[in-house]
Amino acid sequence: MIDVQPADRSAPRHADLVDERIVLTYFLIALGYLSLSMLAGLLMAMQLIRHNPLNGFELMSPGRWRMVHTNVIAYGFLANAFLGALHWSVPRLMLRPVLDWRLSWFILIAWQVVVLGTGVGIVLGPTLQANIPALESLPFALGAQGLEWGETPVWIDPLALAGLLLVAVNFMAPITKSRGPMYVTAWYFMAAFVWTFLTYAMGNFLPQYSLTGTSAGAVGGLFIHDLVGLFVTPLGWGLMYYFVPVMLKKPMWSHGLSLVGFWGLAFFYPLNGIHHFLYTPIPMFLQYGAIVSTIAVEMVVTTVIVNFFATIWGSSRALLTNLPIRWFYTGMIFYGITCFQCALQTTLTFQALIHFSDWVVGHAHLVMFGVFSMWLLGIMTYLFPRIWRTEWWSRELCEWHYWLSAVGLFVMALDLTLAGVFQGYYWASLQPWEVSVEGSQPFWVVRVFAGLAMMAGQVCFFVNLYMTWRLSREAGVSRGVPEPAPQAHLATQGTN
Amino acid sequence: MFESKSGVLLVAGLGFFAFAFLSNALVPALMYRDLPEQTTTELVEKNSNLMYQFENLSHRYPEQFAKHVGEASQENCAEILELGRRVYTGEGCWHCHSQFVRPVSREEDRWGPVSKTEEYQNELQRPVMFGTRRVGPDLSREGGRRANDWHAVHFFQPTMVSHDSPMPSYPWLFEGSPDKPNKRGIALITYVQWLGSWLESYPYYENFEPTPLPGDEPAGEGEESAEDAEVATAE
């Protein structure tokens, strides 16, 4: 266990560390984007089962909204929710506020410009460019960039990159000012700030302006992978290493395993990129390298999961009583499934069958919603009552939110995984293409209903959120949540 | 090092990232550094298959072609091809159609020759359009496989030629009817006809019959043969 400054009475007050309004604003914006992304996903799902009532309307084209779906979930929901959670956890962990509040608010606004610009660019860009002669002759496309997860139009990329730099500066200030060895969360966050910036720059600029062809494909694979592995994953795990010990009121089970987890991830994760493009003209020895390091990541992930499950050992009743903890550990189970799946599907044997199929789509949903969105929704379930000093209006709606999200997601992932196997065999058996599409229909129908269940879960959450907010506005009611205590290294010392 | 700021920032943050970048990105870049990147103009110059399709478009839709493109010249073809790539990217076509043929899963039998690096070393693969999902078929061997008319009808409303297709309609690439593609429509058809047109065995897949030109006696129903072609049989 690392040696940290003792928690003393002079610990800074919560109000001096955390600007709760900014946390709240980020969370509410994030939830707005979550809704938008889910609606976009629904549109594409309805198109696949050939019941899209909006088919043929240019601005509602499922092709464009499919890109809005993924980009808004990554940059609108995940990034905003992460920024909100960081504004809570970083100052409370480091006992120092962020560099500057004005900078925080500036970043908040700038980032919304980035996300809205991305959405509007993808949807309106091609239309505007085709109809306004002055825009037609521009040397670049106003619409999507041809890079998966990086469809952010090229004209927004520089702004997004500047935003990421400011985020790093703002949060690195409290981290660098602290002395001595750092807690696990800070390792993950620090690395994430560096990696996110580098990843974004590499993926969005190199294949567009410098590299071509196969080598650009390698960078594209690296980008897809690093965006999940070096932006979302370290921020997610950093938050878990912070919130789980805080809520369970005990330290992590093994500091050694925390070290193995971080350094193993840092080394092996970035080496995986090319596994997204196996059997392409990318040199085979590089593909083998990516496969081997992907399997290595699975080993590392196992140590992290063991560490967290050993931590809750003895307090497992919290899974029933403590909703955020349940969200977190469900996410971790999905994480285990995802990574195990990953170690299998990255092998050339599996790839031959399931690449290009819905298996991959199921895998992506399992990661992005099943793991990271679950964690962030858990963090929101924990923080909204604290920010409003009001218990949830309805515990039952919280339960519905959890169960509809978790079960809906699980059904969707299972359904798409199975669909992928079927599609793979249809293709390999050289049946006419239409057969694979017809065979997918039942799976796509199930997917729509699973998605609707997930959406219904969020509706429960929004209703609960609104009622809780109304409750918090009523004066003179005992609302059950006190001012957050000054927090002195709860995460590392397990004291309260 | 393992818990210090410099260790985390320099070794994990910068060092490991740089190592991965070196091995995963710089190695292929160096391996292919002698393979020149072709410009769109170069792609068009050497490609009579593509020019055939482009001229065919000017015959099939003379008014539309004259209005939106002008002459069926090589310069115009290069320009239209770039616009086509822009439409293909902007409409998200590449999220349901891949552009590479793998050496496994009998893909050679279904699509044609396995993809090679040289095929991607050009301006129109910037960023490269490998794709990661196939709801619809791979398109890297699509050029010349079907007639321009088939594509026009298919983009206008896919179910007209492929009854159960889940593909969305793209009526905004036309001026009201499938025989009136607008500039974007002509561009997208040209782009799709370009895919694979550089291969010697073009069109790889089936017995190619030129589309009858206006005034010619119909040499068989173009759309019917196109539908037959969809039934992929290894020969």
Where in chain B are the domains?
1-34, 38-230
Query: Chain A residue closest to B183 (CA)?
Result: A130
**Region A191-215 average pLDDT:** 93
Residue A489 confidence (pLDDT) above 50: no
Q: In this complex, do A437 and B184 lie within 8 Å of one another by their Cβ atoms?
A: no
Residue B201: its pLDDT value, please? 78
CA-based nearest residue to A220, from B140, B186, B125, B63: B125
pTM for this model (two decimals): 0.92
Residue A213: its pLDDT value, please? 87
pLDDT in tens, B92-114: 999 999 999 999 999 988 998 99
Residue B233 confidence (pLDDT) above 70: no
Average model confidence (pLDDT) across chain A:
93
B residues 104-133 lying closer than 8 A (beta carbon) to A: 104-107, 109-110, 115-117, 119-123, 125-133
Nearest to B230 among A216, A424, A433 (CB): A433
Residue A437: partners with Cβ closer than 8 Å, 6 or more residues away: B135, B136, B164, B165, B166
In a domain, A163, yes or no: yes
* Span of A281-295, A481-495, B131-145, B150-164 with lowest mean pLDDT: A481-495
Query: Chain B residue closest to A67 (CA)?
Result: B92
Q: Given pLDDT bands bounded at 50, 70 and 90, which one contains residue B216?
A: low
A residues 92-151 lying closer than 8 A (beta carbon) to B: 122, 125-127, 129-130, 141, 143-148
Residue B222: its pLDDT value, please? 45
What percentage of chain A carries pLDDT values higher than 70? 94
CA-based nearest residue to B90, from A216, A128, A51, A156: A128
Query: Measured between CA atoms, how close is A56 to chain B, in angstroms?
Result: 5
Query: Measured between CA atoms, how close is A472 to chain B, in angstroms?
Result: 41
Nearest to B164 among A215, A218, A438 (CB): A438
Residue A122: its pLDDT value, please? 97
Q: Is the peptide bond before A97 cis (omega within 30 degrees of 0)?
A: no
Burial class (CB in 10 A: 0-12, 13-18, 19+), A185: buried
Residue B40 in contact with partner chain A when CB distance is under 8 A: no
Q: What's the CATH number where A153 sits?
A: 1.20.210.10
User: Higher model confidence: residue A485 or residue B42?
Assistant: B42
Burial class (CB in 10 A: 0-12, 13-18, 19+), A333: middle
Q: Given pLDDT bands bounded at 50, 70 and 90, which one contains residue A9?
A: low
**Region A199-207 average pLDDT:** 93
Nearest to B115 among A199, A202, A281 (CB): A281
Partners of residue A438 in chain B, C-beta under 8 Å: 164
CA dist., res. A209 & res. A200, Å (int): 14
Does CATH place domain B38-230 in 3.90.1580.10? no
pLDDT in tens, B41-54: 999 998 989 999 99
Residue A2: its pLDDT value, please? 41
User: Which residues share a beta bridge with A480?
Assistant: A390
Q: Is the separation of the CB atoms in A359 and A441 below 8 Å?
A: no
pLDDT in tens, A95-115: 999 999 999 999 999 999 999
* Span of A56-60, A212-216, A277-281, B14-18 with lowest mean pLDDT: A212-216
User: Higher model confidence: residue A493 or residue A396?
Assistant: A396
CA dist., res. A299 & res. A305, Å (int): 10
Residue B235 in contact with partner chain A when CB distance is under 8 A: no
Give the residue ranges of DSSP H helices in A367-432.
374-388, 395-428
**Region A33-47 average pLDDT:** 98
Q: In this complex, do B232 and A433 lie within 8 Å of one another by their Cβ atoms?
A: yes
CA-based nearest residue to A74, from A275, A206, A244, A229: A229
**Region A147-156 average pLDDT:** 94
pLDDT in tens, A320-342: 999 999 999 999 999 999 999 99
A residues 53-72 lying closer than 8 A (beta carbon) to B: 55-56, 58, 61-64, 66-67
The letter for the amino acid at A391 is E
Partners of residue B182 in chain A, C-beta under 8 Å: 130
Q: Given pLDDT bands bounded at 50, 70 and 90, which one contains residue A12?
A: confident
Q: Three-class SS of residue B21?
A: helix
Q: Is the separation of the CB atoms in B90 and A126 below 8 Å?
A: yes
In a domain, A278, yes or no: no
* Span of A153-167, A175-189, B161-175 with lowest mean pLDDT: A175-189
CA-based nearest residue to B55, from B213, B216, B206: B213
Q: In this complex, do A271 and B23 lie within 8 Å of one another by their Cβ atoms?
A: yes
Residue A4 confidence (pLDDT) above 60: no
Burial class (CB in 10 A: 0-12, 13-18, 19+), A94: buried
Nearest to A280 among B25, B121, B130 (CB): B130
Which structural domain range is residue A121 located in? 11-180
Long-range contacts of A470-479 (CB under 8 A, 24+ apart): A470/A393, A471/A390, A471/A393, A472/A388, A472/A389, A472/A390, A479/A388, A479/A389, A479/A390, A479/A391
Number of domains in chain A: 1
CA dist., res. A270 & res. A293, Å (int): 9
CA dist., res. B81 & res. B50, Å (int): 10
In a domain, A360, yes or no: no
User: Higher model confidence: residue B211 or residue A135?
Assistant: A135
CA-based nearest residue to B122, from B42, B220, B177: B42
CA dist., res. A238 & res. A229, Å (int): 13
A residues 233-262 lying closer than 8 A (beta carbon) to B: 259, 262
Q: Which residue carries 């390298």 as its tokens?
A: A289
What value of ipTM does the predicted structure carry? 0.92
Partners of residue B4 in chain A, C-beta under 8 Å: 181-182
In a domain, A315, yes or no: no
Q: Three-class SS of residue B46?
A: coil
Residue B205 confidence (pLDDT) above 70: no
Q: Is the separation of the CB atoms in A115 and A153 below 8 Å?
A: no
Q: In this complex, do B232 and A432 lie within 8 Å of one another by their Cβ atoms?
A: yes
Query: Measured between CA atoms, how close is A141 to chain B, in angstroms?
Result: 7
* Span of A273-277, A366-370, B208-212 with lowest mean pLDDT: B208-212
Query: Chain A residue closest to B170 (CA)?
Result: A56
